[in-house]
Structure 1
Amino acid sequence: MTTAPSRPEELLLPAAVAGADAATVSLPADFGAEKAAWAFVDATLERWRRTALAPRVHTAVGELVANALEHGLAGVNEEPFPHPLVVTVLADGPDLLCAVFDPGTGLPRPAAGHGLRMVEAASDAWGWTVPGPWGKGVWTALTRTGAGPAPSTVRRLLLLTEVYTGHAHPRLVTAPASAKADGLLRPERTWR
């Protein structure tokens, strides 16, 4: 990986970018973001002919966007750079990985509510990126094996993590199964 650029304007995203096996949308930092994320996911899954995954993806992405709005934007006093919220969906064969990037640097913490438990229930694996100067991402994988994302998907997510978080040496962390609701999640696996 290369050294992260110093806030170049060319990193700003258009409203949505889509390809054969990757799609990304930049969302406004307001409470319409969750509905916009669902519409984006629906359109992406429809284009990829994977609408059967929609209920699981809706649950996971909806909770991740809600958490990003509530916690990832807390304490951000100026317009977040290079993005307020970014939702990315990556496909690798029948497997999907969805990530929500926000400008926050705090790690996911199970709250008194049930949001992260819902993400865990909808996912085969989930986790977060080690925060960089521009924020972090929280991701969810829906895989045919239940073993977590494929190595090729991990490499793609690491590249996106470098771009969206500004981290020169990005890392992904996998949450342990049945994460405890009483404190910071401990990593089960870390990728570099």
Structure 2
Amino acid sequence: MTTHQAETVHDALRDEPCEDGWWLPAPDGFAACALSGSARTVPEARRFTRATLAGWQMCADVADDVALVVSELVSNALRYGTAPREDEACEAAAPFCNAWLALTRQNATVLCAVSDAGTGAPVVKPPDALSESGRGLHIVDQLSDAWGWTPPDRTGKTVWATVSMRG
């Protein structure tokens, strides 16, 4: 597996960045959704991923792997990538955490990307069998062909992973 920073998530599919933004490669090969900060966000992201991949007629093995990768990326975005709130009134007024999930398909490869407002780069923690957390990026590394992140800036970052059909 490969982990590294990328200039754009398009680099992960070896595609040229689009001048028009995120709406590539084609309507049936791209899907995106806004992520809320609620407790239902991770299961909703998994359902969105499974429904999208079913619509693209991706095999069940790829759908299972991508759904798990998305779960880990979204969990990390919600835990580490949200901008700190000033007060409770601000939190109640802003139902979205400025995070997005995007899925792009190119042939037998799916790129999943989660963008958040966090300015810190992902950190792979040393494995600890007794810890209750810290395994997410290890799971992403094992299930994906490659993963990485865009350089964080004042607007945040995107963490991405590609998963291809095996065999």
Could you tell me the TM-score, scaled by structure 1's length? 0.60
Name the structure 1 match of 2:155. Answer: 134
Question: For structure 1, which segment, 109-118 or 119-128, has the greater mean C-alpha deviation from structure 2 after superposition?
Answer: 109-118
- What's the counterpart of residue 63 of structure 2? 54
Structure 2: which 5+ runs fail to align? 1-25, 129-133
Distance 1:118 1:41 in 2: 17
- 1:73 Cα deviation after fit: 1.4
Match of 2:121, SS?
coil
| Residue of structure 2 equivalent to 1:64 | 73
By how many angstroms is 1:39 displaced? Answer: 0.9
- Sequence identity (%): 37
Residues 136 and 46 of structure 1, relative CA distance in 2, 3 Å threshold: same
Give the match for residue 123 of structure 1: 144
Match of 2:152, SS state, is coil
1:87/1:98 contact within 8 Å kept: yes
Q: CA deviation at 1:95?
A: 1.0
Runs of 4 or more off by more than 3 Å in structure 1? 76-80
Give the secondary-structure state (helix, strand or coil) at the position aligned to 2:155. coil
Residues in 2 aligned to 1:95 and 1:67: alpha-carbon distance in whole angstroms: 23
Alignment of 1:19-58 (within 5 A): 19-52=27-60, 53-58=62-67
Q: Determine whether 1:96 maps to 2:104.
A: no
Question: Considering only aligned residues, what root-mean-square deviation do their CA atoms show, in Å?
Answer: 2.3
Tell which deviates more after alignment, 43-52 or 109-118. Answer: 109-118
**C-alpha spacing 1:69/1:83, structure 2 compared with 1 (3 Å):** closer
User: Aligned partners of 1:116, 1:134: CA distance in 2, in Å?
Assistant: 22
Indicate conservation of the 8 Å contact 2:35/2:99, yes or no: yes
- By relative contact order (CA 8 Å, sep 6+), the higher-ranking structure is 2
Report the count of equivalent residues.
127
Q: Is the 8 A contact 1:76 1:103 kept in 2?
A: no
Deviations 1:73-108 (A, max 9, x none): 15354578x962100000111111000111101000
**Shift of residue 71 of structure 1?**
0.5
Shift of 1:129: 0.8
Structure 1 unaligned segments of length 5 or more: list them. 1-17, 146-192
